[in-house]
Amino acid sequence: MAAGPVVLFAVVSVAPSALFWAALRLPAVCRWVRRRRAAPVPSEPPVEQVAADLRRVRRALAELPAGTPAARRIGTRQAYDELLVTACREVGVAHRLDGLREGVDRDLERLRIEDSLSRKGFVLS
């Protein structure tokens, strides 16, 4: 019977400290729960954005005037190729742009990819 008052004394003595500790930890626990429940952020831009960027860069590449510096021409073409690779990855089209050097073979691969993407629903014009 002597244990009853001792247990009650222990609970009354420890409870305020435990509640204060829990109140201090509550915001951190809430942030942790929110992060765990948050939807994963996609690593790639949306398909619509990739298609819009492809159209924009393709138009810029086609409208480069004669006498444009080679660095700008090559940079624009590389940007277009990167967008093509991203689009291929998002819709599941196989490509070989990574393994081809500049030239006729790479140009033909670009045309093949553009055709494949058009068949998948990308509007490139």
The pLDDT tens digits for 77-125 are 999 999 999 999 988 999 998 888 989 999 999 999 999 999 988 888 7
Give me the phi and psi of 99, to 5 degrees please.
-100, 0
CB 73 within 8 A of CB 57: no
What pLDDT is stored for residue 30 in this prediction? 86
Task: Report pLDDT for 2.
Answer: 67
Model pTM? 0.66
pLDDT > 80? residue 38: no
User: Could you read off the pLDDT of 80-90 as tens digits, one per residue?
Assistant: 999 999 999 98
Place of tokens 């093949």: 112
Is pLDDT above 90 for 43? Answer: no
Dmax of the chain from CA atoms? 101
pLDDT value at 60 more than 80:
yes
- Ordered by start, the domain boundaries in the chain are 1-41, 47-119
The 3-state secondary structure of 37-78, one letter per residue: HCCCCCCCCCHHHHHHHHHHHHHHHHCCCCCCCHHHHHHHHH
